[in-house]
Chain A
Amino acid sequence: MKKIAKAALAAVLLVGTSLSAVAVERGGVMTYGRYADSLFLDPVLNDANVDIWILSNLYDTLLLPTDDGKGVQAGLATEWKVSDDGMSVNLTLRDGIQFSDGSPITPADVAWSLKRAANKDNGIWNFLVSSIDDVTTEGDKTVVLKLKHPDPAILAALTVFNTAILPQKVFEAAAGATDADKAKVFAEHPVSSGPFVLQSWDRGSTMKLVRNEHYWGKGEDGKPLPYLDGVTFEVLPDDATRILKLNSGEIDGAEFIPYSRVEELKSAGNLNMELFPSTRVQYVTMNARPQIKGKDNPLSNPKVRQAMNYAVNKDAIIAIVTHGVGKPLTSYMSSATPMHTGDKPLYAYDIEKAKSLMKEAGFEKGFDTSILVLAGNQDEIGIATALQQMWAELGIKLELQQVDNATRTQQYRDGVFTMREAAWTDDIADPNEITSYFVYSPTIDALHTGWKNEEADKLFDASQKEIDATKRAAQYARIQEIYNAEGPIVPLYETPYPVALSKKVHGFLQIPLGNNFFGRAWLDK
């Protein structure tokens, strides 16, 4: 019944419309302002969001994420089935799929691409598909994955950029001895499987993508996607300049609008201020080791950490730093991450409770401490300045140390930092990635803080093999309960992706994992 009603409604709309946007228009080039240039457009060997978030326009994966970023839908594969024992996955490829050079996409390409992604020596993303043991092909349409152990996140993993499908023959033919050398040569004139293909790239200024004539995707008008003739990325590092260029109509869209300008752009006549839901969380990491560089560390006492959490007025920080765009965190993972639990904000502001906790912990008069802040980053400086003011009420004297990223990462990885600000976005529509970094001590000692919880570690190990969705959900609920209560972090807020688009732009999408999809975007003439 529901389907028929929807069709009727669409028909009415179609007939009655004069200017409505339902009628898709083809052609034109969309220019998009980015805050930084990509570095290396190879699905397996890249290492930064600036690459990840546009790779999905060049390379397609067997499965595609749903628009809300939580589920999976058909990609290069039309059917997929996980065996009952969870030890293997069968996938059937779509008919007639081709690379941008017209050559067919064969099961061999898929097997080679997935094995390359899982290879321990290639790049840093192989842990996402570490469960793959072997990939075999059957006939000209079927691919079978053999797993080392049941992996509940394998389907989600098949939507992630690193499992994108590349042309084996063209890649192998590229000059160079190692995979890395071949990747560099291939990346200069890549053959793609996604809606667009790279045409030209002036480093630091402009990157031009053009339509992939052989793309399998179909638009609403039945003709092949993408609607656009091409997409041009302009690198505009300064926020103010990026917005100015958008206002003057020289570009059609701009990413990372500073929170302080969101309100202003909402009222701008010629723009749509989009706030795409995201898995981005902002938090402070506290070193929980008893001693740092030989000096006693008050933060190792859970009561002190809880007191500092209660003393932070999240609403004030959201107002000052995100100008109301953010939402307080209800768990260490963002609400857009699957299996997120928790409905009320963590550590609601309670200065009295904070003071009593400090007394209980024996730090009534407070202590001196410091926090690492990314040099010149307005948001981080804003947060640190606010924390300085708020913790002063507990007698805590906070010194800000603005350092560049590499310096901060060094102290962070060596575990010699006291406190630091940080942000996180998921790369896979599954909670296992964030949990392995935040909670599971074997990965990086729980954000290099030296914090450890036996029960949480055991629960995570079990969840990695638990095929039953409800049992897995319960495991994650418990993990979140433990971590949110005594974890070594100060959860602050989660924020959407602020993207401003000109009124002419339709169909552009940024999913919670951050990937920008231009495949279904189109421009009014």
Chain B
Amino acid sequence: MQNIGSGSLPLFSFVLRRILQMIPTVVFILVVTFVLVRLLPGDPASAMLGDRAIDADVERINASLGLDKPIPVQFLYFVKNVFTGDLGTSIALKLPVTTIIMQRLPVTLMLTLMAALLALILAVPLAFLAALKREQTADAVIRGTFQVGLSMPVFYVGILMLTVFGATLKWFPVGGYGDTFADRLYHLFLPALTLAFSFSAVLMRNLRSSIIGVINAEYVDFARAKGLRPRIIMTRHVLRNALISTVTLFGLQIGTLFGGAVITETVFAVPGAGRLMIDSIYGRDYPVLQGLTIALAVLVSLTFLATDIFQAWLDPRVAR
């Protein structure tokens, strides 16, 4: 596999190969989730009916959902449906799983994307500043504030943001999602910022450490000896090399962003897939869990693919 940086044809086959590789991963995850969730104590009917459930009702409802059959049979039944595009109906919400996911997943996607973007906007310039002004006050101040960002739990930062910027200053609405795209950007800004806090702290630390490593490299001296503009030296030579290890970290951390999204969506009342996930777990809503897991597995794999392509573009030495 010669390096994909230059040619376009290899890029296409590389992407195709990675997508084919995704299939076993998604299937593996689906099987594990399918079984794991059914091993969880409690079943959908008792989770829904709660303490009032009478055994007769529980048996009747579980039977109507086909849950009385052995797990392998249920799985075959499920696979048969998946091929016909039917992911089943949500036990609690009584809506087709595809409709719910179509409603809720884009919300979380938008939230995590905004958070990732904000994290980059926060982390890159400040990492640069901290690296250039190493061991001086600016460096200490930047690292100190990010250290606070790294230690504040998401729900606390969220409530603080809402109290200050929402209720008191009224710059932003207090939670909610909004209808038009612009309205949603406006509503999702605070939750995205909250989510971006600890994410940007991790990025900044890593980027600062690699910039310091790169800034003393001889090719940077050579670039300066060539009389290039400082801005070009910093971006094309320093940043591009420093980003290599940070991109790996970025790809890995995206997965954890979703974990943070669950709590952020609860605090900011955002109707996202994070909350749907936790409600489905507590409600033992198997069909929704299965559908959501597939969707998430595909999405996170795609983000991995994107970060890998970006990394290969960034660093041609590491031929794939």
Direct contact of A and B (CB under 8 A): yes
Best-surrounded residue of B43, B51, B177 (most CB of chain A within 10 A): B51
Pairs A–B under 8 Å by Cβ, sample size 6: A238-B267, A244-B159, A245-B174, A248-B170, A248-B174, A403-B41
Q: Are B271 and A409 in contact (CB under 8 A)?
A: no
Per-position binary interface string of chain B over residues 251-268, scored 1 when its CB falls under 8 Å from any chain A CB and 0 otherwise:
000000000000000111
How far is B214's CA from A136's CA once the two chains are assembled, in angstroms? 88
Q: Is the interface of B mostly helix, strand, loop or mixed?
A: helix
- Nearest neighbor of A433 in chain B, beta-carbon distance: B52
How far is B47's CA from A234's CA once the two chains are assembled, in angstroms? 24
A-B contacts besides A40-B93, A203-B100, A244-B174, 4 pairs, CB < 8 Å: A48-B50, A238-B159, A405-B50, A413-B55
Nearest CB in chain A: distance from B51 CB, A: 6
Q: Is A404 an interface residue (CB 8 A)?
A: yes
List residues of chain B with CB under 8 Å of any chain A CB: 40-43, 46-55, 57-58, 60, 64, 92-95, 100, 103-104, 155, 159, 162-163, 166-167, 170, 173-177, 266-272, 275-276, 281-284
Contact of A39 among B40, B93, B163, B166 (CB under 8 A): B93
Q: Are B47 and A204 in contact (CB under 8 A)?
A: no
How far is B270's CA from A211's CA once the two chains are assembled, in angstroms? 27
Q: Are A202 and B103 in contact (CB under 8 A)?
A: yes
Per-position binary interface string of chain A over residues 414-434, scored 1 when its CB falls under 8 Å from any chain B CB and 0 otherwise:
000000001010000000000
- Nearest neighbor of B278 in chain A, beta-carbon distance: A404
Cβ–Cβ < 8 Å partners of B57 in chain A: 124
Q: Is A21 an interface residue (CB 8 A)?
A: no
Q: Are A124 and B53 in contact (CB under 8 A)?
A: yes
Q: Are A244 and B163 in contact (CB under 8 A)?
A: yes
Known: A235-B271, A244-B163. Contact between A406 and B42, CB under 8 A? yes
Q: Is A264 an interface residue (CB 8 A)?
A: no
Known: A124-B57, A184-B94. Contact between A244 and B51, CB under 8 A? no
Per-position binary interface string of chain A over residues 388-422, scored 1 when its CB falls under 8 Å from any chain B CB and 0 otherwise:
00000000000000011111111111000000001
- Nearest neighbor of A408 in chain B, beta-carbon distance: B42
How far is B270's CA from A408's CA once the two chains are assembled, in angstroms? 28
Contact of B269 among A124, A203, A235, A437 (CB under 8 A): A235
- The 9 A-B pairs of least Cβ separation, nearest first, read A406-B42, A204-B271, A406-B47, A205-B271, A410-B42, A245-B174, A248-B167, A407-B41, A410-B41
Q: Is A291 an interface residue (CB 8 A)?
A: no
Q: Is A67 an interface residue (CB 8 A)?
A: no
How far is B54's CA from A443's CA once the two chains are assembled, in angstroms? 8
- Nearest neighbor of A250 in chain B, beta-carbon distance: B174
Q: Is A174 an interface residue (CB 8 A)?
A: no
Q: Are A245 and B54 in contact (CB under 8 A)?
A: no
Q: Are A248 and B166 in contact (CB under 8 A)?
A: yes
Q: Are B163 and A124 in contact (CB under 8 A)?
A: no
Contact of A406 among B40, B64, B174, B267 (CB under 8 A): B40
Nearest CB in chain B: distance from A380 CB, A: 13
Q: Are A124 and B47 in contact (CB under 8 A)?
A: no
Known: A121-B60, A247-B167, A248-B167. Contact between A205 and B269, CB under 8 A? yes
Q: Are A406 and B282 in contact (CB under 8 A)?
A: yes
Q: Are A244 and B166 in contact (CB under 8 A)?
A: yes
Q: Is A275 an interface residue (CB 8 A)?
A: no
Q: Are A422 and B51 in contact (CB under 8 A)?
A: yes
- Nearest neighbor of A40 in chain B, beta-carbon distance: B94
Q: Are A234 and B269 in contact (CB under 8 A)?
A: yes
Q: Are B43 and A202 in contact (CB under 8 A)?
A: no
Q: Which positions 46-86 of chain A face chain B at CB distance < 8 Å?
A: 47-48
